[in-house]
Structures are given as C-alpha cells and as structure tokens.
C-alpha cells in the first residue's frame, strides 16, 4: 500500500494545516489584550462562541459556494451573480443574525447564574451582534473572492477555500471582538456606538432577507443549517464556561493563550478533512458506507494524524514560554481529543450520507464545534490539575 499510495495524504495535510499557523496571529492579539478579554466572566466566555459561530457559518457558506460553482448554480462574480447565490448569501447573513442573538442571550444568562441576577446587561447581546456584524462584513466578501479566483484558475475551491478562510475568520473575528470590547469599555459613548452597530445590522439583515422568506430553498437552508448551528452554539457554551473557570490560569500561561486559536483550528481541519474525503468517496460509490475503515482509509488517517501531530509539537514549543506545563497541556490536548474527533468525523459523514442529507450543512459545523469545545474543555481541565 505504501508503494502504491505513497505518503500523498501526509504531504497534502502538512500543506493544508500550515494555514492554521495564522491562528497564532489571533492568539497573539488576544494575549496582548488579556486584561480586556479577562475583564469579566462573560468577556472570556463569549470569545470561543464568537469564533465557533463565525467559523461554522463560514464553513457552511464555503461548502455551498464551492458546490454551487461546480454545478453552475453560482457564477464566479459578485455583481450580477445568480439568484441562487443571492439566496445563499442572504440565508447565511440571516443565520448569523439569529445565532449571534442567541449566543449573546445564552452568555447573558450564564453571567446571571455566575454573578447574580443584578448583572444582566444588554451590552452582552450588543457585543455578540456587533462582533458578528463587523466580522461577516469582511469575511464573506473575502470568501467569495477566494472561491471565485480559485475556480477561474482551475483550482478546487473545496480544497482551498475553507482551510484558508477558517484561519482568516479567526483573525478577523478576534480583532473585531477586541474592538467591540474596547468600544464597550470606553468612558464616553462607546456602548452607544456598539449598540448602534448591532441595531443597524439587525435591521439591514431583516430587510435583506425578507425578499427570500417565501422561497422554499431559503427556508430549507435556514431550517437545516440552523438546527446544526444552534447545537453548535450550545456546545460552544461549554468552551466559554471552561475558559471562564480558568481565567486566572490563562493570565499565568500566555503561551497557551497564543496557541489556543491554532489548536482548535488544526484539530478542526483534521476532522473536516477526514469527513470530506469519506463523503466524496461515498458519493462516488468508491467505498462502502460502513463504520470500520478500509486499510486504505486507515492508512490515510494515520498520515493525516501524523501531520497534525507535527503542528501540535510546534505549538507545544511556543507554549513552552510559560513553562513545561504549557507544553504538556498542548500535547495532551491533541492525544486525548484526536481519536474522538476522528471517530465523530467518520460517523457524521456516514450518517448524513445514509439519511440523504446535505453534508455541507452538517459535517463541518458539527465536527469543528465539537473539536473546539473538546479541546477547550480538556485544556481548561489540564490547566487546573497539572
């Protein structure tokens, strides 16, 4: 098998996962602004939710965009594109609005539980909405541009768009979240500016989406994706609670904070790659829909796992700036979570295929959210016990 297949998947994964090094930029931004991000339990709690929400909606949009380009449902241009493109574009914005509102309310409720009934503030919801409004305004056009350019140059958007945009989304969302918190904690009218941004986005998206409410494709997209993403938001809450519990520890280990976005990115890309390869083979009929992997699939999974491990070793060296405990936390996170993500990715791909569902709406958002939450919870637990 080695002679026939070589180590193609190892090389591909090594190249694809290199994009996740950009997550270190997001981590450096957070580490440089730790006093702001750790100012209250809800400020650190909302951060992983914001990353997961932006990444998951972006993942669904990347998948729909790539599939639409291949099938001719979307023309590779922003102006004068197809009705289908406008419908998907509006649906993703509408879902972002709904999920940002829900995530803000969930974090506000958690803040009440942690700090008491007198701590509720509308600014938590405003911060969630404004962060997503500012982030999606930048990332969605970039996703379109990357998809269109790659398609025109005969590159596969399925391979290129999501790994690149997942990292870009982390950086942009982190910057916008820090900006929102800076505005919020300004002494003058910062909170009013933040609320105004949230209100303008809310009204604009409702106005944009109202043209498509009556169309079945719009309703189906919102219905299928929202079920998945609402579950993702619920799982993301565990990440926020875990980080909130170890706020003091995070301040002591800035190296772990620096690598945190890269950790969740790399593990998420590992799982999504496994699921995407299997889904394609199932659609082609080149593999059987059974839980036990073939020798080829197992060989490929080992190659990709080793590629992922190399990057975690790099992250471990970076985390060493806070002492050997930081390195141990990073490596143990991968060793404990990667078998779970490998199994879940395969099960999700098989189950969505068997049930005739669109894998673009399920596999990536669920798998990446689980990898985010699992990595965060394990990281927090290790910081407390090691």
pLDDT tens per residue, range 121-130 = 788 999 999 9
Write the CB contacts of 110 (distance below 8 Å, at least 6 apart in sequence).
41, 42, 45, 237, 240, 241
**CATH architecture of the domain with range 1-32+247-386:** Orthogonal Bundle (1.10)
Q: Which residue has the higher pLDDT, 255 or 279?
A: 255
Determine how many CB atoms are found less than 10 A away from the CB of residue 252. 13
What's the confidence (pLDDT) of residue 142?
Answer: 92
Separation of alpha carbons 386 and 373, rounded Å: 20
pLDDT tens string 74-108: 888 877 778 888 888 898 999 999 989 989 998 88
Tens of pLDDT, residue by residue over 53-68, are: 887 788 788 878 887 8
pTM of the model: 0.82
Using alpha carbons, select from 138, 110, 142 the residue that is nearest to residue 233: 110
Contact at 8 Å (CB) between 102 and 230? yes
The structure tokens listed for 284 are 């082609």
Query: Span 247-273, mean pLDDT?
Result: 87
Greatest mean pLDDT among 95-104, 237-246, 360-369 lies in: 95-104
Helix residue ranges per DSSP H, the chain: 2-5, 8-17, 23-32, 34-37, 41-71, 83-115, 122-152, 157-184, 190-209, 216-245, 247-252, 254-284, 295-319, 324-354, 363-385
Within a 10 A sphere around the Cβ of 202, how many other Cβ atoms?
A: 15
Q: What is the pLDDT of residues 193-234, one digit of tens each?
A: 888 999 999 999 998 888 888 888 788 778 877 777 777 777
What residue spans define the domains of the chain?
1-32+247-386, 37-245
Closest CA to 222 of 80, 61, 52, 54: 61
The tokens for 341 are 């993500």
The pLDDT, as a whole number, for residue 117 is: 58
Burial code of 259-272, b = ≥16 C-beta within 10 A, e = fewer? bbbbbbbbbbbbbb
Q: Please, how many CA atoms are within 13 Å of residue 119, restricted to the half-sphere of its CB?
A: 14
Please report the pLDDT score of residue 361 as a whole number. Answer: 66
CA nearest to 200, candidates 278, 126, 268:
126
């Amino acid at each position: 098998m080695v002679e026939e297949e070589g180590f193609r998947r190892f090389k591909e994964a090594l190249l694809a996962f290199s994009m996740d090094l950009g997550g270190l930029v997001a981590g450096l931004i957070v580490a440089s602004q730790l006093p702001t991000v750790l100012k209250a339990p809800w400020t650190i709690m909302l951060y992983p939710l914001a990353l997961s929400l932006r990444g998951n909606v972006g993942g669904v949009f990347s998948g729909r965009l790539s599939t639409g380009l291949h099938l001719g449902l979307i023309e590779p241009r922003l102006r004068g594109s197809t009705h289908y493109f406008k419908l998907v574009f509006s649906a993703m914005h509408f879902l972002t609005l709904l999920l940002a509102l829900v995530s803000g309310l969930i974090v506000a409720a958690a803040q009440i539980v942690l700090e008491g009934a007198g701590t509720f503030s509308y600014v938590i919801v405003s911060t969630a909405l404004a962060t997503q409004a500012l982030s999606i305004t930048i990332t969605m056009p970039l996703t379109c541009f990357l998809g269109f350019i790659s398609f025109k140059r005969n590159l596969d958007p399925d391979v290129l768009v999501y790994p690149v945009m997942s990292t870009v989304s982390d950086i942009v969302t982190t910057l916008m979240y820090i900006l929102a918190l800076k505005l919020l904690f300004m002494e003058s009218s910062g909170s009013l500016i933040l609320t105004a941004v949230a209100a303008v986005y809310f009204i604009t998206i409702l106005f944009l989406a109202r043209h498509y409410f009556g169309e079945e494709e719009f309703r189906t997209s919102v219905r299928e994706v929202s079920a998945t993403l609402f579950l993702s938001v619920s799982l993301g809450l565990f990440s926020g609670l875990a980080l909130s519990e170890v706020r003091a520890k995070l301040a002591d280990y800035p190296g772990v904070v620096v690598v945190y976005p890269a950790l969740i990115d790399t593990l998420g890309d590992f799982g999504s790659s496994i699921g995407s390869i299997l889904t394609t083979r199932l659609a082609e009929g080149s593999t059987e829909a059974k839980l036990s992997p073939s020798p080829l699939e197992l060989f490929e999974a080992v190659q990709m796992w080793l590629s992922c491990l190399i990057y975690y070793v790099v992250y471990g060296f970076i985390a060493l700036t806070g002492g050997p405990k930081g390195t141990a936390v990073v490596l143990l996170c991968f060793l404990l979570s990667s078998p779970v993500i490998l199994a879940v990715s395969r099960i999700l791909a098989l189950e969505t295929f068997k049930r005739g569902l669109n894998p673009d709406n399920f596999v990536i958002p669920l798998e990446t959210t689980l990898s985010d939450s699992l990595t965060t919870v394990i990281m927090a637990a290790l910081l407390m016990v090691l």
